[in-house]
């Protein structure tokens, strides 16, 4: 049986896994947000909203564009012009 992970290490592991997910999404720009929504129930925009909400819970106020840039690795409008294909499809 494996050893339980201490809470301090758990946070580090979760943060590292989150960074890997974000980098994976940045590297796979061919995967459209609408495809993620249809298959997984979340997309890059959801991650940016969650990021912004969690920052706010900890006293860090960041704008929606700043949160999106954290996830997309560039301004959202730039990402859309480079990688978004098909008709614009928003979700709430």
Is 1 within the bounds of a domain? no
Q: Residue 72: exposed, middle, or buried by beta-carbon count in 10 A (0-12, 13-18, 19+)?
A: buried
The CA dihedral of 6, 11, 13, 14, to the nearest 10 degrees, is 130
User: What pLDDT does residue 1 have?
Assistant: 72
pLDDT at 2: 85
What is the value of pTM for the model shown? 0.84
- Residue 89: inside a domain: no
CATH of the domain at 52: 1.10.3340.10
Is residue 77 one of the residues assigned to a domain? yes
Beta-carbon count within 10 A of 58 CB: 7
Give pLDDT tens digits for 30-70. Answer: 999 999 999 999 999 999 999 999 999 999 999 999 999 99
For residue 33, being part of any structural domain is answered with: yes
* Residue 90 lies inside a defined structural domain of this protein: no
Write down the residue that tokens 């890997």 correspond to. Answer: 20
Question: For the chain, first and last CA: distance in Å?
Answer: 42
Place of tokens 């900890």: 58
What pLDDT score was predicted for residue 73? Answer: 97
25 pLDDT band, cuts 50/70/90, is very high
Nearest to 88 by CA among 41, 32, 46, 49: 32
55: domain range? Answer: 7-83
């Amino acid at each position: 049986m494996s050893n339980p992970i201490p809470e301090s290490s758990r946070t580090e592991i979760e943060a590292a896994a989150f960074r890997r997910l974000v980098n994976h999404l940045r590297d796979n720009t061919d995967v459209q947000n609408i495809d993620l929504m249809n298959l997984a129930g979340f997309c890059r925009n959801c991650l940016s909203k969650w990021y912004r909400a969690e920052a706010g819970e900890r006293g860090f106020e960041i704008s929606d564009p700043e949160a999106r840039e954290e996830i997309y690795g560039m301004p959202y409008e730039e990402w859309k012009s480079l990688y978004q294909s098909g008709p614009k499809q928003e979700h709430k």
